[in-house]
Amino acid sequence: YYSAVVSGIKKFEYRRFDRDFKIGDYLLLKEYDPHKEEYTGRDYLCHITYILQVYDRHNMLYAILSIEH
């Protein structure tokens, strides 16, 4: 997913709404290598431009965060 964000193809993040995300906040995304089970050292700073809150079937709150570089 990291490469898709950096290339500009993926312009959103979907995650549990377990933090107080706000429009205007910044996210520091870190690249993770699942084969090595470690972070690569590459990161990407993006800006939250829109937040859509969504509940799943178990009533857990998630957020679709619209992001840009």
pLDDT at 31: 95
**What is the DSSP track for the chain?**
-HHHHHHTS--EEEEE--S---TT-EEEEEEEETTTTEEEEEEEEEEEEEEEEEE-TT--EEEEEEEE-
Q: What is the pLDDT of residues 16-63, one digit of tens each?
A: 999 999 999 999 999 999 999 999 999 999 999 999 999 999 999 999
Q: Is the whole-model pTM more than 0.85?
A: no
pLDDT at 69: 86
pLDDT at 16: 94
